[in-house]
Structures are given as structure tokens and as C-alpha cells.
Structure 1
Amino acid sequence: MAFNNETTIVTEFILLGFHTTWDMKILLFFTFLITYVLTVLSNATIILLVWNCNHLHAPMYLFLANLSFLEIMLTSSVTPKMLAITISQMNTISFEGCITQSFFYFLFGTIEFFNLAIMSFDRYVAICIPLRYSTIMRTQVCLKMIMASWVGGLMYILLPSIATLKLPFCGPNVIDHFFCDTAPMLKLVCGDLYIVEMTHFICSAVLLLTSLFFTLTPYIFIVFTIVTMPSTQGQWKAFSTCASHMIVVTIFYGVSISLYARPSKKNVLSFNKLGTILSSIVTPLLNPFIYTLRNKIVIQSLRQAFVKLRGFLRV
């Protein structure tokens, strides 16, 4: 790849954010602010419930608490800066800050892929081999699986981030996005982008499709197991335990594959912004409600927590 030797080193980037009127920006600001606050509160509530309720110390809820933590971190890596550039003129970000934001966004997203795969395996063991569930899904094993997802995500993202950090950014320094996404950043690299873009495309495709394979494969066995159940009530109960997870998987993977597992194309920046809003703002808000609305144990724990809190406030 040939680069121009006479380059200007970029020390900061300008995030353009949303191309719209001031009134619309104000509406977007308050919409995203309310969404962000609700996302943090709802996911933090799940974490606190799992932490404080002994009957929620089962593997499924440990993975759910890890997912909620990842959702908080994922949206927090994007939303605060997006709110700042939407409502004010603070639309600059340092080169190091841009790389850091991109690193943590894709780190937490990658770990979430692994966590969803682990949750699928948990459902497979619970439905297909329930008699061995307590033996296989021990607490120590679950914690090691969660730790492995974090280490795996870090190892997968570290090398591409270091490679991006060493790319020559020589100007212009304007990113047509509200955060430091890979695609618009690569547009600012000096020289031929084909190898760089294809490398990112292949890495994204391998990550998404491989994790999707390990997420969906357990459900093939789950479906066969459910079909062979003699009781309709048992079939419905087994299906209901997986429905929430499948909804989350469908939304998360659908948006991520459409965004990153495709070759670079022109005139897709508006789609990238919409996709990022769905993956980093809307989905983290929906997940807690998708899981809790279909889970009687979590709803009951939440009611008990509110009763205790109300009693504490009256004292």
C-alpha cells in the first residue's frame, strides 16, 4: 500500500453528527438523553436484582447480568459524546480519544456476541439434557465462561485496534458520523484503502458468522427436543424460556451483520448512523424489557425489591 510521504499528522477529528435543523437536534437530544437514562437504570436494576436475590444466582441470570453490564458500557461508549455534539458545538475529539471510543465500542459489542452464544448453550443444556444441568452449569464454570468471553473479546479487538492506530491519517479530519466508527474513519486514511477495508470486512464477517453459528446451533437441537416432547404444555414452557433470547439474538445480529459483515459501499453513511442508533441506543434499552416481561421470577423479584424499598423509605 503506497502512502504519500508528505502528510499532515491528524491530532483530532471533527464529528459531524446529524445533518438536520436546530429544532430537530433539540428533539433528538432529549430523546436520546431519556433513552440513555432509561437504558442505564433498567440494566442496572437487573444487575442489582441478580446480585442481591439469592434465587437469581442461577447461570441464566448470571449471563443476563453480564449482558446488562455490557449494554450499559456499550451505550456509554457512544451516547455521551453523541449528546454533546448534538446540542453544542463540542464536535471535536482527539485522535487518541477517537481510537479509544472505537476500541471500547467494538470490544463490548464483541463480548456481547460471545455472551449470547454462551446463553444459547445454557438454554441447550437446560432443555436438551436437564438432568445434567446442575453438573455442567456450575457457578464456577459459568464464571469461567464469562471471563473467557471477556478475554476472547479483548484478544480479538486488540490487534485490529493497534493496526488502526498505526494507519497514516493525513487529513481531512472530518468524520460524517456521531462516533468514531470504523468505516468513516478509514475514509480518512492516506492511500489505497482496499486492503485495509477488506481486512476489517473479513474480521467482522468471521466474528459475526462464527459467533452466530455457535449461537444458533444449540437451537437446532432445542427445536428437535421441543418437537419430540409429548406434552403441549411442556413444549410451550420450553419455547417460552428461549423466546426472549431469540428475539435479542435476531435484533442484535440482524443490525450488526447489515452494518459490518458486508463490503464497503458508497452512500451508506445515513444507514450506518441509523444502524448504530439501533445497536447502541435502542437495543440496550429493549433488552431488559424483553427479558423481564417474559420472566415471572424476575418480575416477582422486582416487585419484592420495590416493596422493600418502599418500606425503607417510610422508616
Structure 2
Amino acid sequence: MEMGNGTTVQEFTLEGFPAIQHLGKVLFLVHLLAYLASIVGNAVMVTITCTDSRLHTPMYLFLSTFSFLECGVISAVIPKLLVIFLSGRQAISFPACFIQALITVFLGATGFLLITVMSLDRYVAICKPLHYPTIMNLKTCCLLVTACFSLAFPFITGLVVKVSQLSFCGPHVIPHFFCDLGPLIHLSCSDTSSTEMLAFVLTSFILLTSLIITIIAYSNIVITVLQLPSAKEKQKAFSACSSHLVVLSLMYGSCVFIYVKPKQTNRLDSNREAALVNMVVTPLLNPVIYTLQNKQVHQALRGTMCRMKISR
């Protein structure tokens, strides 16, 4: 049955990782454990931020929102990947495919906008400490979080809708483990030049703008830290910054490699490995680096556990 936009494809097939599909059960177990650890770690951050008044600060508001976004992205992708590894069922319906694409790209774009806000928050906290309480009050932080969602939603939704309106009348195998926009555009039998350019401009603008602002913010932070009189304070600050930069490097590196190129048909096979880093590795590292190494979070966790024991 042919759809209104000329689409004859009723469902797509996610290729996954055919070269290692024979290791399906092992890969299922590894990715299941990574997924559960990511969900638990990020969910713990969201929960303790909401329940512990000591964490009702701008930094933890941003971190808990970021953890929420991470949970959403991996929950849209990893369960289907687990099904592919375990049972080999690779089919995904046309609507489900574009819903997955919308969730992952929208939450991903919102996440990068939020990273920009987080870097500016750290810049103000470290470089302008006397002005920090005035600039980063709770109302301003809530407005910034809302702005991240509001800016990403219309652009990303418009892009995904435009891709969904292309004609898909031929190959239906997506050379990826989830419905990403690049492989979907590649499968279309329409003229995709304008859609490819729109995707390139939007993703490049979000990623590169976020990256440039983050680099400027952290550069100023490094300069300020170098001016600290105490060697111990310098070491502590650089230790925290270096761990944050590891996660940021993985996120920006993988996403710039995937999205910042005008021809989405290039290097689709390599995109899978880069996307896997972004979908599995970084969500697993984020709770450890951003939260679980933090003394305030440890105190909040102990307080929450004590309250749970008392309530029993």
C-alpha cells in the first residue's frame, strides 16, 4: 500500500553489526549491563537532586537535567539493539523508526545546548565567583533549561518531519543500529540535496556553536585556575576539569565525526562505531565523572539511604 508521500516502504531493517552478529548473546549481556548501569547511575542523580535540598543549586539542576536526557536517549535506542543481539529481529516500523529518530536527535541536540549552559555556569562560578549568586539564580537556571528544550524542539522536529516526507520506495535496510537521519536520507529515492544541506547546517550550527563556547569557557577556567596561589587547589581543579573534558571529548568527537559533513552518505559504516561510543560509553561515564565522584553527592546518597532505613 502506497502512502501519501510516495512511500512504499512499510518498515525498515536495522542492520546492526553484521560482522559480529554471531557474538549476539555475549554482546547482549555486555550492552544490557552497560545500559542498566547507565540508567541506574543517571536515575540516581535525578532522584537525589530532587529529594535532597543540599543539591538544589544551579550546577545540580543542570546535571540532573542532563542525566534525564541521557536516560531518554539510550532508552530510545539500546532496548532495540538488545533485541537485535538476542533474537536477531531487526525490523522496525516506519512510524516507530521516525519516532526513534526524533527522540534521539531532539534529546541529543538539547543535551549539547545544555552542555553549553553548564560550561558557562562553571565559567561564572570559577572566574566570577562574587557575581555567581546574582547571575545564576534558580529562576535564571530554569529559564536556561527551558530555553535549551525550546530552541531544539522546532528545528529538530522540522528536520525529522522533512526527512519523513521523503519517498522511500527501494532499499529498506538501514546500515546502522538505530534510525539515524543520515542513513534514512541515504535510503530515500527522492532528491535529497536540500534535506542533506538542511541537516548539515542545523547539526553543524548546534554542535560547533556549543563546542566553541565550551572551549572558550574552559580556556578561561584554565587561565583562572593557573592563577590560584595554592598548588593543592590547582591540582584539585585540574583533576575535576580533566575528567569532564574526557567525556566532552568523546561526545563532541563522535558527534562531529557523524554529523558535521555535508554528504551523509559518506562513511556510514564508521558512523556505527562512533555512535556506539556516544550511546553506550559516555552515558556510562557521565554519572561517574560528573556526580559519583562528588563529595556532596556522596553525602546526599548517604542521607537518602539513611532516610530509607528509618522509614522501614
- The TM-score, its normalising length taken from structure 2, stands at 0.91
Aligned mates of 2:88, 2:246 — CA distance in 1:
38
Question: How far apart, in 1, do the equivalents of 2:162 and 2:21 lie?
Answer: 38
Counterpart residue identity of residue 260, structure 2? A
Q: Structure 1 residues 170 and 266, CA, compared in 2 at 3 Å: closer, same or farther?
A: closer
Once the two structures are overlaid, the 10-residue window that deviates more, 67-76 or 271-280, is 271-280
Partner of 2:50: 51
Letter in 2 for 1:36: Y
Contact 1:12 1:94 survives alignment (8 Å): yes
CA contact (8 A) 2:166 2:190 kept: no
What is residue 94 of structure 1 aligned with on the other side? 93
Mapped pair 1:260 → 2:263:
no
Name the counterpart of 1:282. Answer: 281
CA shift for structure 1 position 152: 1.0
Q: Deviations over 1:214-233 (max 9, x none)?
A: 22221222222222223323
2:189 counterpart residue number = 190
Aligned residue type for 1:282: V
Q: How does 1:111-190 map to 2 (within 5 A)?
A: 111-190=110-189
Q: Distance in 2 between matches of 1:151 and 1:240?
A: 34
In the alignment, the residues of structure 2 paired with residue 194 and residue 307 of structure 1 have an alpha-carbon distance, to the nearest angstrom, of 59
CA distance in 2, matches of 1:86, 1:267: 26
> Secondary structure of the equivalent of 1:13?
strand
Q: What's the CA shift string for 1:254-290, capped at 9, x where partnerless?
A: 1111111124376733321111111112211110011
Please give the per-residue CA displacement for 1:162-215, whole angstroms capped at 9, x wherever unaligned: 211111111121112221112221121114444433332232222211111122
User: Matched residues in 2 for 1:126 and 1:239: separation?
Assistant: 15
Contact 2:258 2:271 in 1 (8 A): yes
SS at 2:18 equivalent: coil
CA separation of 1:238 and 1:21: change in aligned 2, threshold 3 A:
closer
1:107 maps to 2:78: no
**What is the aligned partner in structure 1 of residue 212 from structure 2?**
213
Contact 1:8 1:171 in 2 (8 A): no
Q: 1:143 to 1:260 in 2, by over 3 A?
A: same
Amino acid paired to 1:35: A
Q: 1:282 to 1:11 in 2, by over 3 A?
A: same
**Secondary structure in structure 2 of the residue aligned to 1:250:** helix
Q: 8 Å contact 1:71–1:284 — kept in the other structure?
A: yes
State whether residues 106 and 153 of structure 2, in contact with CA within 8 Å, keep that contact through their aligned partners in structure 1.
Answer: yes
For residues 6-35 of structure 1, the C-alpha deviation after alignment (integer angstroms, 9 at most, x for no partner) is: x66222111122214665011111111111
Matched letter for residue 283 of structure 2: P
Q: Percent identity?
A: 39
Which segments of 5 or more consecutive residues in structure 2 lack a partner in the other structure?
A: 1-5
Q: Is the 8 A contact 1:255 1:279 kept in 2?
A: yes
Displacement over 6 Å in runs of 4+: none
Instruction: Give the RMSD, CA atoms, in angstroms.
Output: 2.1
Tell me the CA shift for residue 306 of structure 1. Answer: 2.9
Amino acid at match of 2:116: A
Shift of 1:95: 1.2
One-letter identity of the residue aligned with 2:18:
H
SS at match of 2:16: coil
User: Is the CA contact (8 Å cut-off) linking 1:12 and 1:93 kept in structure 2?
Assistant: yes
What count of residue pairs does the alignment treat as equivalent?
308
Three-state SS of the structure 1 residue aligned to 2:92 is strand
Greater shift in the superposed pair: 274-283 or 193-202: 193-202
CA distance in structure 2 between the aligned counterparts of 1:11 and 1:167, rounded to whole angstroms: 13
CA 1:185 to 1:22, structure 2 compared with 1: closer, same or farther past 3 Å?
Answer: closer
Deviates most, 290-299 or 247-256:
290-299
Q: 1:198 to 1:8 in 2, by over 3 A?
A: closer
**Residues 1:188 and 1:227: Cα distance change in structure 2 (over 3 Å):** same
| TM superposition score normalised by structure 1 | 0.90
